[in-house]
């Protein structure tokens, strides 16, 4: 019988094998182009593992920071930065030499907002462009600057900013931005619970929630567990997760349901029962499977208290 620790150690070994000489990981096993997102998940997964060169991974992340404090999607990318900044500041959370870089990252996150935060677009969404149902006063973070807020980047930014112990030294806006982000998530929930990519209703039609988007939003809303919106969304995820056939969504569901103190034993069994887990082409998914199997440590890394 295969147990969680055996599977986890096999997956971590595979993950370590995929580390590139530069210290980062590529998005796909067949690629040699290092990317920041898989590197963050891999660094989090290998944090306390005896395999992989975590120091080299952290050094890679520090080296790739943009001059404006953000992080690019991959080395060589344009330098305006993007949502991935929130994930990097969490991946570097325990590294003392990374404190200045993280602070720059937090400042960048605070200055980054969905386009609807601007008065002109707010006015346009209120008066003219009304096919998507949402309250433009409630904004969060975009995937990339100059676009509107979306669920996943907003949830990751909330998780990241919640890791700052105090809002001082130019970071006084953190509570305001975090609250705005939470309001945005609450506003854009799908009818019946759960989250789609960005909005719940478009052209009068209710959008179906996505399991992974919902799970990531629920991690960011752990402190609002009693809110009816959160409870209905947890309910959606509980109903949906057992039928999830893809390890990425399943891993996120395990993390979110564990954060909300729901039963996850059967989901973990489903995850480790997948015969092709270690040969998954997508490296982020491989790392996420590791993070889900080691969920207590992962939730701690995301600053989510259970």
Q: Give me the residues that bind another protein (CB under 8 A), please.
A: 26-28, 31-33, 35, 37, 73-74, 77, 82-83, 115, 131, 142-144, 146-148, 150, 152-153, 196-198, 202-205, 207-208, 210-213, 244-249, 281-282, 284-285
Q: Which is nearer to another protein, 8 or 244 (CB)?
A: 244
Query: Closest approach of Cβ 267 to another protein, in Å?
Result: 15
Query: Closest approach of Cβ 180 to another protein, in Å?
Result: 19
Query: Closest approach of Cβ 50 to another protein, in Å?
Result: 28
Listed in sequence order, the residues at least 6 apart from 227 whose beta carbon sits closer than 8 Å to its beta carbon are 186, 221
HSE (side-chain half, CA atoms, 13 Å) at 288:
24
Q: Which is nearer to another protein, 45 or 98 (CB)?
A: 45
Q: Which is nearer to another protein, 98 or 212 (CB)?
A: 212
Query: Closest approach of Cβ 175 to another protein, in Å?
Result: 26
Residue 115: closest CA among 100, 102, 132, 99 = 132
Place of tokens 């959606």: 236
* DSSP code string of 165-234: S---TT-TTHHHHHHHHHHHHHHTPPTTS-B-SS-SEETTEEPPPBHHHHHHHHHHTGGGTTSHHHHHHH
Q: Which is nearer to another protein, 32 or 127 (CB)?
A: 32
- What is the separation of C-alpha 17 from the centre of its chain, rounded to a whole number of angstroms? 24
Q: Which is nearer to another protein, 223 or 282 (CB)?
A: 282
HSE (side-chain half, CA atoms, 13 Å) at 249:
15
Q: Which is nearer to another protein, 124 or 224 (CB)?
A: 124
Rounded to whole angstroms, the Cα distance separating 16 from 8 reads 12
Query: Closest approach of Cβ 228 to another protein, in Å?
Result: 25
Query: Closest approach of Cβ 211 to another protein, in Å?
Result: 8
Element housing 34 (H / E) = strand 34-35
């Amino acid at each position: 019988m295969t147990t969680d620790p055996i599977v986890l150690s096999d997956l971590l070994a595979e993950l370590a094998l995929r580390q590139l000489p530069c210290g980062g990981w590529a998005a796909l096993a067949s690629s040699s182009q290092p990317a920041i997102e898989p590197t963050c998940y891999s660094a989090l997964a290998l944090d306390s593992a005896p395999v992989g060169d975590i120091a080299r991974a952290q050094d890679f992340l520090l080296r790739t920071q943009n001059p404006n404090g953000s992080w690019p999607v991959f080395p060589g990318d344009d330098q305006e930065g993007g949502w991935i900044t929130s994930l990097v500041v969490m991946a570097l959370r325990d590294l003392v030499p990374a404190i200045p870089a993280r602070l720059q990252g937090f400042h960048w996150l605070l200055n980054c907002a969905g386009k609807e935060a601007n008065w002109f677009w707010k006015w346009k969404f209120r008066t003219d462009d009304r096919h998507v149902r949402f309250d433009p006063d409630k904004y969060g973070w975009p995937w990339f600057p100059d676009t509107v807020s979306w669920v996943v980047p907003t949830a990751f930014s909330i998780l990241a900013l919640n890791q700052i112990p105090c809002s001082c030294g130019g970071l006084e806006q953190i509570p305001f931005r975090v609250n705005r982000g939470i309001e945005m998530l609450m506003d854009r929930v799908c009818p019946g619970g759960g989250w789609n990519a960005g909005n719940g209703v478009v052209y009068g039609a209710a959008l179906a929630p996505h399991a992974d988007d919902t799970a990531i939003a629920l991690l960011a809303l752990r402190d609002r567990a009693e809110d009816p919106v959160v409870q209905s969304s947890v309910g959606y995820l509980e109903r949906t997760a057992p039928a999830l056939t893809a390890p990425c969504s399943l891993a996120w569901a395990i993390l979110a349901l564990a954060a909300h103190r729901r039963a996850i034993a059967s989901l973990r069994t489903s995850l480790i029962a997948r015969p092709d887990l270690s040969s998954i082409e997508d490296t982020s998914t491989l790392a996420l499977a590791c993070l889900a199997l080691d969920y207590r440590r992962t939730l701690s890394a995301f600053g989510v208290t259970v």
